[in-house]
Structure 1
Amino acid sequence: MTATLTRPHGDDPEVLRPPSDREAALLGSPMPQDRVRALVVTIVLTLIGGFVRLQNLGVPTDKGSPVFDEKHYVPQAWQVLRNGGFEDNAGYELVVHPPLAKQLIAVGEALFGYGGWGWRIVPAIAGTVLIALTVVIARRLTRSTLLGGIAGVLVICDGVLHVQSRMGMLDIFIAVFALAAFACLLRDRDQVRERLATAVRQGWVHETRFGPKLGFRWWRFAAGLMVGLTFAIKWSGLYYMAAFGVLCVAFDVAARRAAGVERPWVGTLRRDVAPALWAIVAIPVLTYLASYWAWFASETATDRYYTEIKNVDPGLFGFLPAALRSLGEYTANVLHFHATLFTPKDHPHPWESKPWTWPMGLRPMLYSYESGASVSGCGGSECVRATMLIGTPALWWLALPMLGWSLWRTLFRFDWRYAAVTVGYLAGLLPWFINLDRQMYFFYATPMAPFLALGLTLICGQILGAARRGAERRGTGLLAIALYTGLVVANFAWLWPILNADPITTTHWQAEMWLPSWR
C-alpha cells in the first residue's frame, strides 16, 4: 500500500507522519488517483453500452404487440399512464407486483407512445446505468481503473443483461437498484473506516470500550433508499434488504475491530444496529409504501377499497387507516398468488427452469420466434428471427468456479471483497430454493449477472497480479485477462443475432444452439 501522510493530532500541523499500522489497516489500499482517466473510461463504456442496448430497440414484437411477459407489464404501464400512476383493470386481476417498474415503463410510453421503443426505452436506460455502476463498483473493489473497465466490458457483453435491458419487463430494474444499493454500502464502508482512522489518529477511538459514534451515515441512508426502490419493483427486494443488512453489520464489526475497539461486536450492537435497522429496513418499507402514492390517492385502483367492499374484520389492525388495511389485504392476496403459482404437472411451461440451472444458464428462454415466408433478409431460402434470453457462456459457464473461489477466499482468506460480491450474488439465487414447486424462469436470475461480472473481475485482478511482482509476471497476467476479455466479446458477438432478433438462416439458428437444453 502506498503510505498516505497524515498530520499528527496536537503537534505542529505542518509536520507530516506516515499512518500508523492501525490507520493503515482501516484505510486499506488507497483509491487510484487517475480520476480523469476513470471518468473517461466510465463515460466511454457507458456510451458504448447504451448504443448497443438501443440498437433496433423496437424489435421484436408480436405483430405490433408485446412479447412474452411484456404482455403483462406493458399494458399495465399504459394503464398507469392513462390513470396518473396506478393500474385499475380489476377484470384482468393480474396486478401482482408493486407499481414502480410499471410507472417507469409508463414514462417511456409517454415519450414514445405505445410501441416497442415506448415499452423499452426506460429499461434500456436502466441497463445502461448498470454499466456505469459496475465500472465504479469494480474500481472501488479492486482500486484499479483497468479492472473497472474490464468489469464494464463484461456487463456490456452479457446476454442476460443485454436482452433484459431491451424488454418491457421488471427484472432489469431490480438489478440496477440492487447494484446501486451495493455501491452505496461499499462507499459507506470506506467512509466509516475513514472516520475511524481519524478517531485513531486523534486519539479518541478508545473513549469508551464500544468505540466512537460515527455520525449520520448518508451513504447507508442512500443504500436503504435503493433497497426500497428494489422492493418497490418486486418483493424479491426483501431478500436484498436482509442480505445487505447483514453485510452492513459485518462491515461495521470488522471496522471497529480494525480500529482496536475493545468490544467491537457489542459496540456495533450499541452504536450501529439501531441506525442500520432504520436505514436498511424502515427506509425501504417507507419507500415501498410511497411507491403506492397514486394507489392511495385513487378511487378506482385495484382493490383500493377491498376492506370496505368485502367488509373485512380489522381485528388487531383496527387502529390502521382503512387504506393501509386494504393494501395489506391486497398484498396478502398477491402473496397467495405467488405462493401457489405452480406449473401443472401434465402441462408444464416449455421454458420453465429451476434455480440450480441458473448459475450456468442451462435453460435459457425463448421470448419470440418467427420463421417462414414472413421473415426475410438472411440471404437464404428460409430465415429465422428469434430473441432468446441466454447468458454469454464465456461468463456464465464460469459461475460455479467463480462462486467456489469466492467462498474459499471469503472463508479461508477473509477477503471482504469476495465476501461482499458473494452476498450480492447469493441474495439473487438462494431465496428461490425455498419453494421449488413454484413456477420459475431464467429471467429471475437477471440481478445475479452484475455480481457474476464483479466476481470474475476480482479473479482477473488476482491473475493480473500486483505491479510489485515484476513486469514479466504482470505482463503475463495482462495477456491472460486480455485474451479472456476478447473471448467474452467474441462470444457475445456470436450470440448477437439471437439476442436481437436479427434474421438468420435455419443453419445458423441451429449453430447457435450449443446445448440440447437450449432448444
Structure 2
Amino acid sequence: MKTFLKTYARFLYPAVILVLSFGVYFTYYGSPQAMFWDENYHVASAQKHIDGVMYMEPHPPLGKMLMAVGEVLFGGNGNVDKSKLNETDYLNGDQAPPQMTYKGFRWPSVVMMAISVLFFYGILRCITQREWLAAAFTSLVIFDNALVIHSRAAMLEGIQMFFILAALYYFVRVATDHIHEGKKILLRHYAILGVLIGLSISVKVNGMILVLLFVMLYGVDQWQAIKQWQWLPLAQRLAVTVPSGVVPLLLVFFGVFYIHIGMGSTIMKDRTYKASPEYLAQIRAGNTWAPGTFMIGMRDNWKYMSEYADGVPRLDVCKSGENGSYAMNWPLGKKTISYRWDKNTVDGKTVVKYKYLTGNPVVWFSVLAGIILSSGLIIGRFIYGNAIKDERLFFWICAFTGLYLSYMIAILQIERVMYLYHYLVPLVFGAINLALIFNYVFRDEVIANNRHTIINASLFALLVIGVFAFFSPFTYGFGLTEDQFELRNWFSFWQLQVVR
C-alpha cells in the first residue's frame, strides 16, 4: 500500500480533492428554488444574453454570459415563459415564474469553483514539492462555508475564482520552472498570463489586482539584472514584456465586450440605460456587430458603469438592515449577511432554513494568523536584517502576502459600501500564504516528510472539515431551531440574527 501511494500520489491526491470538491459544491445546489442576493440581478442579465436583449450593468459581462450558457445547456426551463426577465434588471420573486429552476444559471459558478481547487492544489504542489502538504491545505478552499455558499449561486465570485486561481497557477508554474530548472521565461508566458488576467477582469474589475503578477514575473525573469542594476537590459526587456502581457489582456477584455454589444440586438421597451442616440440607432438598424457600433457601445457601457459606481451609497452602519461592512473587519468575519430564510413549524417548534454568508472560523482566523506571521517575517528581514533560512520560500511568502495586503489597501480606498464577500479573493491569497508559512516554520520536517508533521497537517485539515460541517446548516439551508442557531452564534461581531 505504501509503495502504491508513493507511485500514484501525483494522481491520487488531485482525484480525491476533485471528488471532495464536487461533493461539497454540487450538493443541493439547486436549492432553494428561489433567488437570493445578487441572483435577482444576474439571472435577469443572463437571460438577456439568451434572448439577444441589450442591457448594461456595473460589472463586465463575462460572468453573465457563462450563466447564459449554463442555462441553455442545463437549465431545464424549456417550457417556462421567461419573458419577464427581459423587462427588468432586478427580478423579484413575484415576477419569476413559480415553476422556474435556477440550476442552469448556477451551474457555471458551481462547476468552475469546484474545478478551481485543483489550481489551488497545483500552486502549493509547485512551490512546496509536497503532495500531502498541498492536499491538506487545499481543504481551506473546499471547506470554507463562505466560499461554498457564494459559489453555489448564480453570482460572479465562483466564476472569477476559477480564472484567478488559473492565473496564479500559471504564474507559479512558469516562475518555479525558471527558479528550479533554469527554464527561460518567454514572451508567450507573459501573453498567456495576460489572457487569464483579462478573463478575470472580464468577470469583475477587482481582478485588476492580478496585474501585480506581471511585475512579479518580470522580477523573477530579470532578477540577476536587477541585483546588478543593469538599467539598459532591464529597460529593453521591459519594452517587450509590457506589450506582450498587456495587449492580450486588453484584447480579451474588449473582445468580451464586443460579443456582449453584438449580442444586444433588441431594445426592450424603454430600457435604454441612458445609451446615446447613436448607439440606439445602430441597434435598431441591426448593426450591433459592426466595429463602429462597438466603439460607441463600449463608450456608453463604460459611462454607465462609472455613473453606477458613483451612485452607490457609502457604508452607513446606523442604517437599519445595513449589510455592508468595513474592510478592516472582514478578516474576522464581520459582518455576515443573511441571504435568505424560510420559517416552518415542526412539532410545535419553529425551524428556520437559513442561507447565511458566514465563513469557516478556523479558515478565516488561521489565514489572519498567517498574514500576521508572514508580515512579521518580512519586517524582520527588511527592517531588522534577520537571516532567512529559505530564500525561495521567502520569495513566495512575500508574493502572496503582497497580493493580500495590496488588495486590502486598494479596497480601503473605495468609498462606496462594500460587503463581506469582497474578502473572498484576498482570503484565497491568505490561504496559500498560510500553507507557505507552515512550510517555512516546519521546513526541515517537511523536507524529511516527518510523520508527526504530516499527522499535524492532516489533523488541521480534519478540524477545518469538522467546523465546516458544524456550520453547514447556514451553507446548505438545513433547518435550525433557535437553540441550534445560538449554538453556532460564536461571536457577537458576526452579527448573526436569529429568526423567531
**C-alpha deviation, 1:495, in angstroms:** 0.6
Task: Give distance in 1, aligned partners of 2:325 and 2:189.
Answer: 37
Q: Is the 8 A contact 1:362 1:517 kept in 2?
A: yes
**C-alpha deviation, 1:151, in angstroms:** 2.2
**C-alpha deviation, 1:168, in angstroms:** 0.5
Q: Is the 8 A contact 2:70 2:108 kept in 1?
A: yes
Alignment pair present for 1:333 and 2:304: yes
Alignment pair present for 1:360 and 2:332: yes
Partner of residue 484, structure 1: 460
User: In structure 2, do the counterparts of structure 1 residues 308 and 371 end up closer, same or farther at CA, with 3 Å as the change threshold?
Assistant: same
Q: Describe how 1:51-90 pairs up with structure 2 within 5 A.
A: 51-61=23-33, 65-83=34-52, 87-89=53-55
Amino acid at match of 1:426: L
**C-alpha deviation, 1:484, in angstroms:** 2.0
Q: Describe how 1:19-168 pairs up with structure 2 within 5 A.
A: 36-61=8-33, 65-83=34-52, 87-89=53-55, 95-110=57-72, 111-114=74-77, 115-168=101-154
User: In structure 2, do the counterparts of structure 1 residues 39 and 479 end up closer, same or farther at CA, with 3 Å as the change threshold?
Assistant: closer
Alignment pair present for 1:296 and 2:225: no
Q: Is the 8 A contact 1:142 1:458 kept in 2?
A: yes
Alignment pair present for 1:424 and 2:403: yes
Q: Secondary structure of the equivalent of 1:229?
A: helix
Task: Give distance in 2, aligned partners of 1:41 and 1:470.
Answer: 19
Q: Secondary structure of the equivalent of 1:51?
A: helix
Partner of residue 223, structure 1: 193
**C-alpha deviation, 1:468, in angstroms:** 8.6
User: In structure 2, do the counterparts of structure 1 residues 410 and 310 end up closer, same or farther at CA, with 3 Å as the change threshold?
Assistant: same
User: In structure 2, do the counterparts of structure 1 residues 262 and 462 end up closer, same or farther at CA, with 3 Å as the change threshold?
Assistant: closer
Amino acid at match of 1:487: L
TM-score by length of 1: 0.78
TM-score by length of 2: 0.81
Partner of residue 89, structure 2: none
Task: Give distance in 2, aligned partners of 1:285 and 1:344.
Answer: 32
User: In structure 2, do the counterparts of structure 1 residues 408 and 220 end up closer, same or farther at CA, with 3 Å as the change threshold?
Assistant: farther
Partner of residue 497, structure 1: 473
User: In structure 2, do the counterparts of structure 1 residues 265 and 59 end up closer, same or farther at CA, with 3 Å as the change threshold?
Assistant: farther
Q: Secondary structure of the equivalent of 1:429?
A: helix
Q: Secondary structure of the equivalent of 1:126?
A: helix
Q: Secondary structure of the equivalent of 1:59?
A: coil
Task: Give distance in 2, aligned partners of 1:190 and 1:470.
Answer: 21
**C-alpha deviation, 1:462, in angstroms:** 3.4
Partner of residue 207, structure 1: none
**C-alpha deviation, 1:264, in angstroms:** 5.0
**C-alpha deviation, 1:219, in angstroms:** 3.2
Q: Is the 8 A contact 2:39 2:154 kept in 1?
A: yes
- Residue-by-residue CA offset, 1:126-176 (whole Å, 9 max, x unaligned): 111121111111111111111111122221111121112211101122222
Q: Is the 8 A contact 2:137 2:435 kept in 1?
A: yes
Q: Percent identity?
A: 20
- Residue-by-residue CA offset, 1:374-395 (whole Å, 9 max, x unaligned): xx5xx77210100111111001
Q: 2:209 aligns with which of 236, 239, 257?
A: 239
Aligned length: 441
Q: Secondary structure of the equivalent of 2:36?
A: coil
For structure 1, which segment, 277-286 or 300-309, has the greater mean C-alpha deviation from structure 2 after superposition? 300-309
**C-alpha deviation, 1:45, in angstroms:** 0.6
Unaligned 5+ segments in structure 1 are 1-32, 199-213, 312-319
**C-alpha deviation, 1:510, in angstroms:** 1.7
| Cα RMSD after superposing both structures | 2.8
Task: Give distance in 1, aligned partners of 2:165 and 2:448.
Answer: 35
Q: Secondary structure of the equivalent of 1:385?
A: strand
Q: Secondary structure of the equivalent of 1:359?
A: helix
Indicate the structure with greater helix content: 2
Q: Is the 8 A contact 1:360 1:399 kept in 2?
A: no
Partner of residue 402, structure 1: 370
**C-alpha deviation, 1:492, in angstroms:** 0.6
Q: Is the 8 A contact 2:342 2:354 kept in 1?
A: yes
Task: Give distance in 2, aligned partners of 1:215 and 1:175.
Answer: 25
- Residue-by-residue CA offset, 1:214-263 (whole Å, 9 max, x unaligned): 5734333221111000110012122322x222222222232556xxx854
Partner of residue 171, structure 2: 185
Q: Is the 8 A contact 1:53 1:166 kept in 2?
A: yes
Amino acid at match of 1:338: A
Task: Give distance in 2, aligned partners of 1:467 and 1:113.
Answer: 52
User: In structure 2, do the counterparts of structure 1 residues 305 and 498 end up closer, same or farther at CA, with 3 Å as the change threshold?
Assistant: closer
**C-alpha deviation, 1:479, in angstroms:** 3.6
**C-alpha deviation, 1:424, in angstroms:** 3.1
Task: Give distance in 1, aligned partners of 2:451 and 2:472.
Answer: 31
Q: Is the 8 A contact 2:279 2:297 kept in 1?
A: no
Q: Describe how 1:367-446 pairs up with structure 2 within 5 A.
A: 367-373=339-345, 376=346, 381-411=349-379, 412=381, 413=388, 415-436=394-415, 438-446=416-424
